[in-house]
Structure 1
Amino acid sequence: MSEMMAWPRNDGRKGIRNVVLVAYLVECAHHVCKQIARPFDEADVQVIGFSGCFPSDYGQDMMEALCTHPNVGAVQLVSLGCENFKKQQLALAIRASGRPVNVTTIQDTGGTRAAVDQGRTWVAETKAQLADAPKVPMAVSELVIGTICGGSDATSGLTGNPAAGVAFDMLVAEGATCIFEETGELIGCEHVMAARAATDDLRPQIIATVDKAATYYAAMGYGSFSNGNATGGLSTIEEKSLGAYAKSGQSQINGLLRPAERAKTGGLYLLDVVPDGAPKYGYPNINDNAEIIELISCGAHAVIFVTGRGSVVGSAISPVLKVCANPETYDRMSDDMDVNAGRILTGGATLQDVGREIHDKLIGLASGARTASEDLGHVEFVLTYKTPTPPEPSCHV
């Protein structure tokens, strides 16, 4: 296996990608960002942003975490000029992290064409500078990996999710940080997870955070269970939860994280994606892309995505490794998949074999390999309003 090499960052973290972000700070600036990035379509220049005009502490925290992510090398911020986003605060945070940053305000610059020209010039110059950035060796213990499942069916909990759990156990044993979610899809598993807590204080917190998710979804009148899940053979949220739980592996759980919060040590963490209090902005995560971004906001270098029915999404910041649980889906959609976990069902591989394959492919991503979603140009990004929840001081060991 090739040695992992990565870009060093001022805060001690290392990036397995060196992306230039073009970030809009209100939906009115989205088109300008897309035009700035257009000439660099194959050059790791990606568009992200927050569309809202009203103030949002969650949006601010998320953008600061994403724009200083270890996979990010520089950031071009684009503002309309009259939105409520704290763009200078964001720019200061990026600059303090040692990354080049430029702020283009469309109203001050003179409109769309002038803003696009200014942004393209800065991105081109900055990419030329980043081209010479040195890389350094990276240990497995420095990796942060997230996992998510989407488009789940009856095979997800039998093959793909347990295989992801095996990979997680391998990574945790090597000192890496592994993050699983989503509390709204772990309903019924809270006491089993609590039994794996590293500390006595953490046990009731795990139970409480899943109870909170159940209460939130009940208030919304709809849980995290889709028509596609039912068509794929899942009967209830409890059955779906068992499959979702399997991707956490068997390691002890070191703590709870909230979006945009980084783990203080290596080990396994549960990401709490449901805000505290009464529902305020609708469903906690409206689709898989929003969950991927929250995992990335916690520093995930890459994300394992397990799917049974099939999914094609990627991400603008971190590579998304697709693990297909269903052998029939893999046969139909192999171009979009990285790992065929369906071989476990057909007798072509063991759970340990596929878990090791996932582990090794993740290491390969830091050695120059690319995922199927990267090769296909998938750079999805979703960031909406949510009420931020402050981290609990006792959530970490």
Structure 2
Amino acid sequence: MSHMQWQGYLRKDGRKGIRNYITVVYLVECAHHVAREITSRFKEHPVQLIGFAGCYPNAYADRVMNSLCTHPNVGAVLLISLGCESFDRKKLEENIRQSGRPVNSIVIQEAGGTRKAINDGVRWVDWCSGIIGNTMMVPMTVNDLVVGTVCGGSDATSGITANPAVGLAFNKLVANKGIAIFEETGEMIGLEEVMSSRAVNPQLAIELKKSVEKAARYYSAMGHGSFAPGNADGGLTTIEEKSMGAYCKSGDCQISGLIKPGDRPVQPGLYLMDVVPDGEPKFGFPNINDTVEIVEMISSGCHIILFTTGRGSVVGSAISPVIKICANPQTYRRMEEDMDINAGGILTGETTLRDTGEKIFEGILAVASGIPTCSEGLGHQEFMLSYKTFTPLGPGCLPV
């Protein structure tokens, strides 16, 4: 790898990936065990497990799953179906095939039960490993990358170390024609005017403001906000304080668009992802856990996720590597094995905000070139896909 160029995996749909996974996908919870058993036979190989637990997927779950199965980091897909769930597996299989990826479906009821389905799956994955091993490698640069950011286990240090450092890394990523995505509209409450002033056009400014106002209404209706007891234990006092810290992750570039899970930006720039469902609350809290947010970012094409934490988090993800950026120096000392970058050094005087932002940017390039993150090395592959409802946005919010 040169400083700004490395080798990536060219997909037949023209996109480029930084990993080359075979993804085993269960399409209902009843098929989870079979899919897990197949994946477990390949622990030392690039084989990962994802899935949808519900028997009745809605448009959101279907769209996200289709996006994940054709993600640039995915080289091939094995679908595991019980046989009587409502997921449109044939359409999903056809979409994957049209993207140029090897794909196969195993229906447990037709295969003859658990053991036979597992054996069929193991044989296919073993065969497919040789196929994707011959994937064409091509040069990649920063302008091929899509990078997302989330925060979890925030404390009073998050907004003054890790989050603004990510903002600086995002500034450099966008300056080099990459795509950067931030989210958590429920943690931007009170900042809607400030954020909307950065929009590239007046229509987008209105929609950015509306997305935060929607989040405030949604949380009010649920009787719950994006502020956990752990945040208070870590020294945060109000949602406004947490919001200011979370907002820092976006840097200070102009905002190019507003997207929803599964939307894929095609132009360089900075994008806000609205993860709060549209309409009346139907499916409970919009952010059940950090993993849901990570999955939604991956569904919009993120090759890498930057995860900032003050209290400490150990989650990684399937499909796209997670770079952990620790805001608190004490947490870093306790959990160093799980953390990639010590932003807490800003507080102790060991480094500066600018240097940490540069280190995060260099970390993005290193991980893109194939260097594993801490969570990858530890085997983390967390995944969760839930129910939500979204209404498409107009073209002024997602530039074509």
Shared fold per TM-score greater than 0.5: yes
1:138 aligns with 2:155: no
> Which residue in 1 is equivalent to 2:225?
223
SS of the aligned residue for 1:213 comes to: helix
The one of 246, 249, 270 aligned to 1:247: 249
The structural deviation recorded for 1:229 is: 0.2
> Which residue in 2 is equivalent to 1:125?
127
The structural deviation recorded for 1:363 is: 0.5
The one of 292, 302, 305 aligned to 1:303: 305
> Which residue in 2 is equivalent to 1:279?
281
> Which residue in 2 is equivalent to 1:84?
86
> Could you tell me whether the CA contact under 8 Å between 2:19 and 2:370 is conserved in 1?
no
Structure 1 residues 253-281: Cα deviation after superposition (integer angstroms, max 9, x where no partner) = 00101001100211000000011111000
> Which residue in 2 is equivalent to 1:5?
7
The structural deviation recorded for 1:74 is: 0.2
Give the Cα–Cα distance (whole angstroms) in 2 for the partners of residues 350 and 113 of structure 1: 56
- TM-score, length basis structure 1: 0.99
The structural deviation recorded for 1:182 is: 0.8
Give the Cα–Cα distance (whole angstroms) in 2 for the partners of residues 319 and 367 of structure 1: 12
The structural deviation recorded for 1:368 is: 2.0
> Could you tell me whether the CA contact under 8 Å between 1:307 and 1:325 is conserved in 2?
yes
CA spacing shift, 1:343–1:229, aligned 2, 3 Å:
same
The aligned runs of 1:375-386 (5 Å cut-off) are: 375-386=377-388
> Which residue in 2 is equivalent to 1:317?
319
1:116 aligns with 2:118: yes
The structural deviation recorded for 1:10 is: 2.2
> Which residue in 1 is equivalent to 2:51?
49
> Could you tell me whether the CA contact under 8 Å between 1:4 and 1:364 is conserved in 2?
no
Matched pairs, number: 397
1:348 aligns with 2:350: yes
Give the Cα–Cα distance (whole angstroms) in 2 for the partners of residues 392 and 272 of structure 1: 14
Give the Cα–Cα distance (whole angstroms) in 2 for the partners of residues 132 and 240 of structure 1: 47
SS of the aligned residue for 1:40 comes to: coil
Give the Cα–Cα distance (whole angstroms) in 2 for the partners of residues 84 and 136 of structure 1: 39
The structural deviation recorded for 1:103 is: 0.4
The structural deviation recorded for 1:396 is: 2.5
Task: Write the letter of the residue equivalent to 1:11.
Answer: D
Give the Cα–Cα distance (whole angstroms) in 2 for the partners of residues 248 and 324 of structure 1: 17
SS of the aligned residue for 2:8 comes to: strand
Give the Cα–Cα distance (whole angstroms) in 2 for the partners of residues 60 and 295 of structure 1: 15
SS of the aligned residue for 1:126 comes to: helix
SS of the aligned residue for 1:104 comes to: strand
1:153 aligns with 2:121: no
Task: Write the letter of the residue equivalent to 1:190.
Answer: E
> Could you tell me whether the CA contact under 8 Å between 1:151 and 1:309 is conserved in 2?
yes
Give the Cα–Cα distance (whole angstroms) in 1 for the partners of residues 286 and 6 of structure 2: 35
1:196 aligns with 2:161: no
SS of the aligned residue for 1:290 comes to: helix
Structure 1 residues 359-391: Cα deviation after superposition (integer angstroms, max 9, x where no partner) = 001101121211000000000001111113323
Structure 1 residues 209-237: Cα deviation after superposition (integer angstroms, max 9, x where no partner) = 10000000000000010000000000011
> Could you tell me whether the CA contact under 8 Å between 2:10 and 2:135 is conserved in 1?
no
Give the Cα–Cα distance (whole angstroms) in 2 for the partners of residues 30 and 279 of structure 1: 28
Task: Write the letter of the residue equivalent to 1:16.
Answer: I
1:106 aligns with 2:111: no
Task: Write the letter of the residue equivalent to 1:30.
Answer: H
> Could you tell me whether the CA contact under 8 Å between 2:257 and 2:398 is conserved in 1?
yes
Structure 1 residues 330-350: Cα deviation after superposition (integer angstroms, max 9, x where no partner) = 000000000000010111111
RMSD over equivalenced CA pairs, Å: 0.8
Task: Write the letter of the residue equivalent to 1:106.
Answer: I
Structure 1 residues 90-128: Cα deviation after superposition (integer angstroms, max 9, x where no partner) = 001100000000000000110001110111100000011
The one of 22, 34, 51 aligned to 1:32: 34
Kindly report structure 1 stretches of 4+ aligned residues shifted beyond 4 Å: none
Give the Cα–Cα distance (whole angstroms) in 1 for the partners of residues 396 and 277 of structure 2: 18
Give the Cα–Cα distance (whole angstroms) in 1 for the partners of residues 266 and 363 of structure 2: 25
> Which residue in 2 is equivalent to 1:212?
214
Give the Cα–Cα distance (whole angstroms) in 2 for the partners of residues 82 and 158 of structure 1: 51
> Which residue in 1 is equivalent to 2:72?
70
The structural deviation recorded for 1:44 is: 1.4
